[in-house]
Structure 1
């Protein structure tokens, strides 16, 4: 499924199936992030009991960026816990603790969620359009050239996010997660 395709509704969920979400419509964009923060968080989350390393072979975190108003938690909200790399980190990663599956990433003040692509069944998984934050790598020469490999986020990336926020009426819905996770 391409990122630009208009998907009706996708049911996605954690590895054990207890935490399920509904993603409506097409994502804003689909990316693979190579920032230091995503790679460090992935390593710490992969060390949790029963967890799986979700990075690509070259260390990227694949995500579909979705408007918050297009993601609905259908079941398992009681299993969600937030993980932060440090107490004052502006980014939180939300994990389904029933099986220690990372579910989404949320930047402080953001109107979108970066939903991890491993939640989709492989045959319905959105396709990445670009890699971003390649500048954080010591050696980017090992990256495949099948997608644009951007040193940081591009103007196009921010324009897509701004257009989505305008379409949302400049709202920023809250996603409540009550538990905290130490990893």
Structure 2
């Protein structure tokens, strides 16, 4: 199985992903856009959003993502203390690494970790219904108003392939932005 090593901008935090992602998407939900805007305020942080304000990720089963180095730099960021999703940031250089949904069996690894010429290509955009005016979005891939049944089917198939397990991903602390 092919493996790819990804790192934060300074190289202090490294991940390994195995195989191909089961989905590559761009999210336009209010939560992802708000989190990206807040994380962009961190010193030295690079923008996460596309020019049309999408957050691009590759979805991997948790059992196919390994933290190689820098686990002590990973801190979780939540929009509110009770948010069901957390973005994990390598605080050595303030690079967002991945998104984890509460109870999820997958991680959404941010596409900006890949070199541009090796970056997986998004297959769809989701949550375009959260935009005030989605008419300016590119028409190169499907622009879904919300999550589709096919989206959930991919998530379920990945979970079944894992034997319905949900490995824990431990990080070292909380990031307040």
| TM-score, structure 2 normalization | 0.99
Q: Does the CA-based 8 Å contact 2:111-2:119 persist in structure 1?
A: yes
Matched, 1:125 2:151: no
Distance (whole Å) between structure 2 residues aligned to residue 53 and residue 72 of structure 1: 24
Matched, 1:165 2:173: no
For residues 62-104 of structure 1, what are the alpha-carbon distances to aligned partners after superposition, in whole Å with 9 as ceiling and x for unaligned? 0000000000000111100000000110100000000100000
1:134 aligns with one of 128, 131, 153: 128
Aligned to 1:70: 64
Backbone CA RMSD of aligned residues: 0.7
Distance (whole Å) between structure 1 residues aligned to residue 145 and residue 128 of structure 2: 4
How far residue 122 of structure 1 moved from its aligned partner, in angstroms, is: 1.2
Q: Does the CA-based 8 Å contact 2:56-2:122 persist in structure 1?
A: yes
| TM-score, structure 1 normalization | 0.96
Q: Does the CA-based 8 Å contact 2:13-2:71 persist in structure 1?
A: yes
Number of residue equivalences: 177
Secondary structure of 1:179's aligned partner: coil
Aligned to 1:174: 168
Matched, 1:17 2:11: yes
Distance (whole Å) between structure 2 residues aligned to residue 37 and residue 26 of structure 1: 26
Note the residue ranges of structure 2 that are not aligned, 5 or more in a row. Answer: none
Secondary structure of 1:166's aligned partner: helix
Aligned to 1:4: none
Note the residue ranges of structure 1 that are not aligned, 5 or more in a row. Answer: 1-6
Aligned to 1:92: 86
1:11-90 to 2 correspondence within 5 Å? 11-90=5-84
